[in-house]
Chains A and B, each alone.
Chain A
């Protein structure tokens, strides 16, 4: 290496060392003054991810049969296992969350259709009686539309197969 190259390299390393000291000094200042707001969050994330890794490793070592579901770091299963039981807000019966909505909805649609026709007949005599056997908001909306004589299409559509869609 020529003297020129040696000198150039020497000055370059001098500059680089100076910048390294600047970076170290700044990081030291941030650390000691606690200015790194993400520091604790990163530590918490690392701790949680280590826990999740240990949990996954532990479950795989235990040979759990539920191997088709993967648990992520948030504790959620993939694919989602909707095995919790809820109470339907419409009809009040207990239903599994993972159950197909259309089947439960079809059940309600059937009741909607039957009771609507019965109630519509009643309304023709009583003219907007507040009494209604409907248990859902959509049912009462549908009833109002019928009692007012307005055709559907604004807030919902009733299809020929008896399904009702609330828009």
Chain B
């Protein structure tokens, strides 16, 4: 009668939250959180968007999307398709001055965060 059923002698459920707390957030995550909390991420995104519109990059990407849509058919394209179509060209065609300006702004934020 004192014999225990095997079904209640199962190993305890691993405590996921405790394990996660042991992992330290990376520097990247910390900076990302600071960037979001301070609003700097939104400002940087807006600045980049503005610069990319001014230089015609956005129009070029929209043109690529239209061409792909024309080829595939309006109802047969997904957002994923369009992202995959324009990402390689989009990353490669950012003008150097725009990239330099944004990198400078990011480095300034990193420097101000480090102090």
Interface residues of A (CB under 8 A from B): 4, 7-13, 15-28, 31-32, 34, 36, 39, 42-43, 46
Q: What are 20 A-B interface contacts by the 8 Å CB criterion? A: A8-B106, A11-B31, A11-B35, A15-B44, A16-B48, A16-B91, A16-B94, A18-B45, A20-B61, A20-B86, A21-B79, A23-B62, A24-B65, A25-B82, A27-B66, A31-B66, A31-B69, A32-B74, A34-B74, A43-B70
Q: Mark B26-65, 1 if CB is under 8 A from A, else 0.
A: 0110011001000001001100110010000010011001
Query: Which of B35, B48, B77, B94 is close to A28, meaning CB atoms less than 8 Å apart?
Result: B77
A23/B86 in contact, CB under 8 A: yes
Output the least CB separation between B53 and chain A (Å). Answer: 10
Q: Helix, strand, loop or mixed for chain B's interface?
A: helix
CB neighbours of B70 from chain A (8 A) = 39, 42-43, 46
Interface residues of B (CB under 8 A from A): 27-28, 31-32, 35, 41, 44-45, 48-49, 52, 58, 61-62, 65-66, 69-70, 74-75, 77-79, 82-83, 85-87, 90-91, 94, 99, 102-103, 106-107, 110
CB neighbours of A13 from chain B (8 A) = 91
A16 to B28 CA separation, bound complex (whole angstroms):
17
Q: Helix, strand, loop or mixed for chain A's interface?
A: helix
B44/A27 in contact, CB under 8 A: no
B45/A36 in contact, CB under 8 A: no
B75/A32 in contact, CB under 8 A: yes
A17 to B86 CA separation, bound complex (whole angstroms):
10
Given A16-B91, A27-B65, A36-B66: A7 touches B28 (CB 8 Å cut-off): yes
CB neighbours of B94 from chain A (8 A) = 16
- A-B interface, 6 closest residue pairs, ranked by CB to CB distance from nearest: A27-B65, A24-B82, A8-B106, A24-B83, A31-B69, A28-B79
CB neighbours of B66 from chain A (8 A) = 27, 31, 36, 39, 42
CB neighbours of B52 from chain A (8 A) = 19
Given A23-B61, A23-B65: A12 touches B106 (CB 8 Å cut-off): yes
